[in-house]
Amino acid sequence: MGNSPASVNDVVSDEHRAMAFGIWSIGPTNGPVYGPIIGGFVFEYLGWRWTNWLVLIIGGAVLALMACIRETYAPVILRQRAAKRRQQTGDSRWWTQYDDGESLSARLRTGFGRPFVMLFTEPICIFWDIYVALIYGVLYLCFVAFPIAFQTKRGWSPGLGGLAFVGIGVGVLIAIACEPLFRRVINLHRKDPATGLVAPEAMASVVCLGATLLAVGQLWFAWTCTPNVHWIVPILSGVPFGAGNACVFIYASNYIARSYGIYTASALAGNMLTRSIVGACLPLAEPSMYATLGLNWASTLLGLVEAGCISIPVVFYFYGHRIRKASPMIQELKRMQAKA
């Protein structure tokens, strides 16, 4: 499990971070959409074994590319540069504020432990991680609901059934294309005189929009997914659903990145861990839920849960500055920046 959002945060400026996160989000949000489309036809015409072979081939190619990626984390880069200078000059005065004398084992303990510490002690991480994990889990529940709605109920083949996810993919791409518009809305918020940047809470405004679109798309699907409604109607429900997913993933990650500075990697690692666990486990309960409640009411329940969770980004939009002041990690970061 990688931590690519942290690397994106390391190499992109504040102004263009949302666009970079948007391009990155095509993977975690549209990857699960392209998977059923491609996998459906591969399974139908080549057999189920080739779905695994295809993953192995693509994974091997990506692994080779990953070997070419350089270090992006600023403290590590500075430590490496200082160590190189000490070695070249023999002058021990070359150092950085991150040269704390910790051993490799201590750094490993810190690196593996800090995401869990932040996950369970930082209010920002607790609420954002739970919310994003829930949204991610519902996205993966679609991979149970859509086959029921289109293959079981309507009799579509696996290949055609995969095409039902096109609406979600289109919604994600629309949200990413709207990034310049969202950036203008964000920049309308009051800027911090010290930094010239808007507060992280400005990002929560787009998350509020995304959360609303998610609930609308889910409830739309819930009551149009039956065979008596034309198939294009439930597929179109994926457009607001996909756009909402993209807005939540992109701008929630941006909120965390703007809040935690050099601790962003640890904060986003905890976020990724939480959402991956929920995304893997929640769909296991879905067949029983759909069998008990039926497709309409099970999907309605999910839509109502998403509607209730709109309150989380709304609270952060209005009161996020107070929550950040209560964060021990953010206060520690401010003290470090003041010393520097």
> What sign results for the dihedral spanned by CA atoms 5, 53, 137, 178?
positive
User: What is the Cα 112 distance to its own chain's centre?
Assistant: 20
Give me the residue spans of the domains in the chain.
Answer: 105-339
Return the pLDDT at 269: 87
**Residues in a beta bridge with 191:** 198
Query: String of b and e for 21-50 (b: at least 16 CB within 10 Å)?
Result: bbebbbebbbebbebbbebbbbbeeeeeee
User: Residue 81 is encoded by which pair of tokens?
Assistant: 């540069």
How confident is the model at residue 243, as a pLDDT?
95
Assign residue 250 a region (left: φ > 0; alpha: ψ between -120 and 50; beta: otherwise). Answer: alpha
DSSP-derived secondary structure letter, 192: P
How confident is the model over 202-218, as a mean pLDDT? 95
Q: Fold for domain 105-339?
A: Growth Hormone; Chain: A; (1.20.1250)
Q: Is 241 within 8 Å of 221 (Cβ atoms)?
A: yes
Q: What is the pLDDT of residues 10-27, one digit of tens each?
A: 888 777 777 787 788 787
Mean pLDDT for the stretch of residues 317-339? 84
Q: Is the pTM of this model over 0.75?
A: yes
Is the predicted pLDDT of residue 307 greater than 90, yes or no? yes
H/E stretch holding 70 reads none
